[in-house]
Structure 1
Amino acid sequence: MDKIFEEYTDALHEFAAQSLVQFKPDQSQSNQEPASVAHQIRKVLPNVYGVQHVPCLTGTREKTIATISKWANEKTDSKPIFLLLDVAGSGKSTVAKHMANQWTREKRLLARYFFSRDTATTMSTDMFCSTVADAFVAYDRKFEAPIKAFKERPDIGLLSFEERFNGLVIDPLEELNRDAILIIDALDECDNEHGSRDELLNTLYSQQSSSPRLRILATGRPELDIKQWALVSKVVHTNFVQLEGGQKDVEVYIKYRLQHFEYIQDQLYHVVTHADGVFIWARIACDLILKTANVNRLLEELRTEVTLDFLYRVALEHSIPKDKPSRQAFTVVLQMILAAREPLSMAELERLSPEPGIVEGIVTRLGALLLYKDREDPIRLLHATFREFLTSRAKAGVFFIQPEQGNQTLALGCLSLISNHSSKDHSTLDNLDAISQKQDISLPIGLLLTKYLGSTFTPPNHGYITVQHRTES
């Protein structure tokens, strides 16, 4: 049974990231507008353009922004890569998003790729080169011809990452005599299980001396392989302490968030000064303060230990009741959220949950640690470090989460929905293409697709769905 669950839930790792489901339209319902499968897929797709991030708050990171702007405008600077490495939660992605907005307003030729562990798509480099190339085409149609010609090469699938990068990004810039900026955010969240991050870093190393056309702003945590690459490549990296010279930015942020609680501002800032300017710490602390009924008690807790792991424990203790049913509901919901390799919404999780009515209560209580807009919006973790915390028994303790258990929960939920649907109208499973367009059944069928090229999910004695994998072309 475990093997069957594993085969079914493999689809979660590839759904929407690498597959396109082909559905035939239901002619019998042609006069109606069916629930769009494309819409369902788009709704859960992440955005490598960084739409999940916000720009810097006015008055913060001013020296960093000025330094990066000066670097981007230098015509004679021999350093084509600006590498910002700092601890988790310090605001690197916020700065990257700010610069993307600024350079877009300035009408600079710009491409961007925000890596994230939230989804399989944003962890991968599979679509990196074509995403960058498409950004150039969107800005200037003159790039369309050389890029299209390269994409149509019959052997493009056999080329290395570096060859695709040169063919889709560097060569068109050289051919059209254009300068461009590329933002690569969160290098540490680029998956390296199969050497993808190594390929990317090696490609950046190779091109930095050969192509003066492309300037690259890259950010990430100071992981060992990234620091070693920077050392070998002679890429100088910097951090916020060096750029800003202090923690004034965190104070500005706290005063903005707690503007109606002046008596708390100084107390919290005194605590945050020990958090090494980590914005994510200040954000969670402010969220908790604005929701708690006992501010003084919370501040006393926050003074105990100033680390993200401790803050996560405090946030969970304040958010989740200690009774056994509440803790069990927390575990089930977080298992599903962590198991889904593409974010699912509250509404979708409710349909897959083994117990009705538990998802919204838990997600709402965890508002300081989860990101979502409404019931239909995909739920994301506030920060990658929250996943690391939850999946470490040593760090999380009673809040420890095993995502593999969530795989089974999601698979059972999918099968239950399909079973319930078929019991209402058994004959409809003879035509899964039509069934799959129905809003209440398209999600589970999509989640149960196997990930292998050309493979099918075939319920006994019923129809099938074909999977086609996307390529760089």
Structure 2
Amino acid sequence: MQQSVQALSDNAGLSTLPYAAGAAYPSGEDEHEPLCLLNTREDVLNHISNWAAIGKRILWLHGPAGMGKSTIARTAARRFLKQGRLGATFFFKRGAGDRSNASRFFTTIAFQLSAKLPTVKRLLAKAIKDDPSIIGKPKAEQFERLILEPLSAMNSLSLQALPLIIVIDALDECDNQDDVKRLLQLLEQCTSTDATRLQILITSRPELPVDLGFRAMSKELHHDVSLYEIQENTIRADIATFYKHQLPKIAEEHKKAYGIELPPNWPGAESLEDLLNMSTPLFIFAATVCLFLADTDADLEAGLAAILKEKHQISRLAQTYLPILRWPLSRPRTNLSDHEKRLRIKQFREAVGPIILLASPLSTSALAKLLGIREHDVVRRLNPLRSVLNIPRNNDDPVTLLHLSFREFLLDEALAEEFLVDEQETHMDLARMCLEHMRKSGHLRKDICKVQAPGTLREDIDAQTINNALPADVQYSCRYWVHHLSLCPDLSLYRGQVLSFLKGYFLYWLEAMSLMGRMLETVSALDSLWLLFSNDEVDELENFLLDAKRFLLQNVWMIGQAPLQTYISALIFAPERSIVREQFRMEIPCWIRLPPKMQDSWDALLQTLEGHENWVNAVAFSPDGKQLASASYD
């Protein structure tokens, strides 16, 4: 009985850990992502197996885009899982919300390790119970308390004969370069002691932040393998095996669908040789070609001819993507006029431009609402692109890129030609659409979830109720409107719009962010707005931002706990001359007939740090003065 109670207590504690959905292997988000085919990539997979058996603590596998690093990482993770050695994984993915940054990296790794190691689970639950605020603390402290200390404290008898392995894929897709270097420093610390008994496989492009991180690491701890330096004939043989496996399947499916039988040796030795020459050493080219051919309509031969037509292109990315994008405009029997082609390309940019630049992926239904066009039109524009986009059958699941190189291709003026997406212009459009959507959707209002009782805690509101009241498109707008503004070249166009939004919707936005559990993001959003719009002469917008920041710091903890206190305690205890109080005075409930008499202006107190449930008996500043630690008997 005591053990059951302890297990329930541990599970309750672990349930508070922020978790990056889709980052672990296996995951539902990536269930259709490929593994290495049998008898392919054997050189590198054998190298990984040898490293796992007798190698150094960290293996860095690096190579340019399109060489199959993520496929190799998934295959290695699957093998380690079958061997009982997979401790945890984190598959970074740019533009995929919590997977595109390191904010939930250590909590996600810790959660997975706790599922593998019962002793770690108990120690981790105790660490969270002792300090519930650990989930919001700096990454170094999370690492020490949630990973290093529990692993180091484990009894040696509970460790298995071989170390557990952590797989970290696409580290270069973490969107903060400082975080990349910090993660590598902390992982080096984790593997520099035998107490943790971990090995770590990391894949990435050889980009400067990752490269510098490994250069600073002890050579005794890590070994690196360059995919680019693996013999070209080995890679070519693997790609040939891939084509010989996939192309007959495509021909057979084509026969079933259209009743057209292709020659037994289709596509023929010459075409296969051309495909191999175009593909080597990029597996992404071969994979994309096969996806394109599998999705091509009855004229499969014409689709193949469109691919081979680009074989003299200098850029491999252009060879990969231009035929796929041009196919809907030029395939047989289409007969589009030049005007119709220009219109289709414009519609392509309007739909795909936002997809490749969203901070977090959206479904077709949410994207349609954000863009202000019919969902049917979004689906129609995206359907020809299934070989480069993952478009789920369920229209409520997010559309994602099959490979980051497609985004890079579309943003490269030298490669994308007529399909070029203007990055700055698209961010301007997204910023405008987010602001308009928050104002006009009708979802941002007082008491968004209609709970009525002002003391209702956020944790007591059902998640489905929140998602119904704040659909995905509105949640995206609330979280990322400042992000897109920060990437606009000319902010003068938005000064009036931002002021109008804040004066009309600031409190409703705070309530929405509280309901989403994203209150801490509002502080950084206001800081960003101040940096974006401050100038030598303080105007109405800057005055509002200054007052909004004081209002928020005073109430961020309370609003995060009980969203409707935004309109009660937060407003009535604001200074009499607070701009926010004056602007939203009408939101103070009429049943508060004798509000307290408050001081005219904000005093010197910026923020009260809350969270302890007992007396604080000790405080200490970090040497650089940037962090404060507190201790209490709670």
Q: TM-score, normalised by structure 2?
A: 0.59
The structure 2 residue matched to 1:355, chosen from 350, 373, 388, is: 373
Equivalent residues of 2:68, 2:282 under 8 A apart: yes
- 1:58 lines up with 2:58 in the alignment: no
The answer for the alignment partner of 1:407 in structure 2 is 430
Q: Structure 1 residue 49 and structure 2 residue 20: aligned?
A: no
Unmatched tracts of structure 2, length 5 or more: 1-18, 252-261, 331-339, 452-464, 483-500, 521-610, 612-634
CA apart distance, 1:103: 1.7
Shift in alpha-carbon separation, 1:174–1:248, aligned structure 2, 3 A: same
Structure 1 position 157, deviation (Å): 6.5
CA contact (8 A) 1:319 1:366 kept: no
Equivalent pair of 2:435/2:477 in contact (CA under 8 Å): no
Secondary structure at 2:199 match in 1: strand
The match for 1:432 is 448
Indicate conservation of the 8 Å contact 2:97/2:361, yes or no.
Answer: no
Q: 1:351, CA displacement in angstroms? A: 2.8
**Counterpart amino acid of 1:181?**
I
Could you tell me which of 137, 157, 166 is aligned with 2:114?
137
Deviation track 1:117-167 (CA, whole Å, cap 9, x = no partner) reads 032311211111111111111123221222123334547478653343233
316-325 vs 433-442, greater mean Cα deviation:
433-442
Cα distance in structure 2, aligned partners of 1:466 and 1:231 = 40
Deviations 1:347-379 (A, max 9, x none): 222333333232011110111110122123210
User: Gaps (5+ residues) in structure 1?
Assistant: 1-41, 423-428
Q: Deviations over 1:5-28 (max 9, x none)?
A: xxxxxxxxxxxxxxxxxxxxxxxx
CA deviations on 1:254-291 (whole Å, 9 max, x unpaired) are: 11121136332642343333543211111112233341
Question: Structure 1 residues 309-318 or 217-226, which shifts more?
Answer: 309-318
Q: In the TM superposition, what is the alpha-carbon distance from 1:318 to its structure 2 partner?
A: 1.5
**1:272 is matched with which residue?**
276
Does the CA-based 8 Å contact 2:438-2:478 persist in structure 1? no
Within 5 A, what are the aligned runs for 1:72-111? Answer: 72-74=52-54, 77=55, 79-111=56-88
Equivalents in 1 of 2:83, 2:91: separation in Å?
20
Do 2:40 and 2:238's aligned partners in 1 also have CA atoms closer than 8 Å?
A: yes
Change (3 A) 1:114 1:458: farther
Measure the CA separation in 2 of the matches of 1:397 and 1:129.
41
Residue 365 of structure 1 pairs with residue 388 of structure 2: no
Residue 170 of structure 2 is aligned with which of 172, 181, 186? 186
The answer as to 2:303 corresponding to 1:298 is no
The structure-2 alpha-carbon separation of the partners of 1:350 and 1:368, relative to structure 1 and needing over 3 Å to count, comes to same
Q: Deviations over 1:390-413 (max 9, x none)?
A: 223333232122330441464267
Measure, in 2, the Cα distance between the counterparts of 1:158 and 1:373: 33
AA aligned opposite 1:251: A
Does the 8 Å CA contact 2:278/2:319 hold for their aligned counterparts? no
Q: Letter of the aligned partner of 1:276 in structure 2?
A: T
Q: Please give the TM-score of this superposition, normalised by the length of structure 1.
A: 0.78
CA drift at 1:183: 0.4
Letter in 1 for 2:41: R
Deviates more, 1:320-329 or 1:88-97: 320-329
Aligned to 2:518: 469
1:323 aligned residue = 341
The structural deviation recorded for 1:197 is 0.6
Asked if 1:398 corresponds to 2:402, the answer is: no
Structure whose alpha-carbon radius of gyration is higher: 2
Name the amino acid aligned to 1:311: T
Q: Once superposed, what is the RMSD of the aligned Cα atoms? A: 3.3
* 2:70–2:203 Cα contact (<8 Å) kept: yes
- 1:465 shift after superposition: 3.0
Residue matched to 2:401: 381
Give the match for residue 442 of structure 1: 471
Asked whether 1:257 is paired with 2:243, we answer no
**TM-superposed deviation, 1:73:** 2.3
Contact 2:171 2:203 in 1 (8 A): yes
Given that 1:112 and 1:183 are in contact with CA atoms closer than 8 Å, whether structure 2 keeps it comes out as yes
Q: 1:371 to 1:334 in 2, by over 3 A?
A: same
Counterpart CA distance in 1 for 2:151 and 2:478 is 40
| Paired residue total | 416
Q: Structure 1 CA distance, aligned partners of 2:266 and 2:197?
A: 52
1:13: which partner in 2?
none
Compare 380-389 and 430-439 and name the one that shifted more. Answer: 430-439
**Which residue pairs with 2:189 in the alignment?**
206
CA distance in 2, matches of 1:286, 1:361: 21
CA distance in 2: counterparts of 1:268 and 1:209, whole angstroms? 48
Residue 335 (structure 1) aligned with residue 335 (structure 2): no
- Aligned residue among 158, 166, 176 for 2:144: 166
Partner Cα separation in structure 2 for residue 339 and residue 316 of structure 1:
18
| Aligned-partner residue type, residue 518 of structure 2 | H
**Separation in 1 of the partners of 2:476 and 2:51?**
45
Aligned counterpart for 1:314 among listed residues 315, 320, 323 = 323
1:93-128 Cα deviation digits (max 9, x unpaired): 111111222222222251000111032311211111
For residue 65 of structure 1, give the secondary structure of its aligned residue in structure 2.
helix
Tell me how far apart the structure 2 counterparts of residues 445 and 250 of structure 1 sit (CA, whole Å). 43
Match of 1:4 in 2: none
Asked whether the 8 Å contact 1:117–1:190 carries over to 2, the reply is yes
> CA 1:414 to 1:46, structure 2 compared with 1: closer, same or farther past 3 Å?
farther
Q: What's the % identity of the aligned pairs? A: 23
Structure 1 residues 173, 415: CA separation in 2 closer, same or farther (over 3 Å shift)? Answer: closer
Deviation for aligned residue 1:462? 9.1
Superposed CA deviations along residues 395-440 of structure 1, whole A, max 9, x for unmatched, are 3232122330441464267348625x89xxxxxx564214975748
Q: 1:122 aligns with which of 78, 93, 99?
A: 99
By how many angstroms is 1:48 displaced? 0.7
Q: Tell me which moved more, 121-130 or 243-252.
A: 243-252
1:346 alignment partner in structure 2:
364
Give 3-state SS (helix, strand or coil) of 1:373's partner: coil
In 2, Cα distance between the equivalents of 1:448 and 1:289? 36
For 1:441 and 1:67, the matched residues in 2 are separated by 48
How far 1:460 sits from its partner (Å)?
5.7
Structure 1 SS opposite 2:203: strand
1:248 aligns with 2:250: no
Distance in 1, matches of 2:53 and 2:42, equals 17
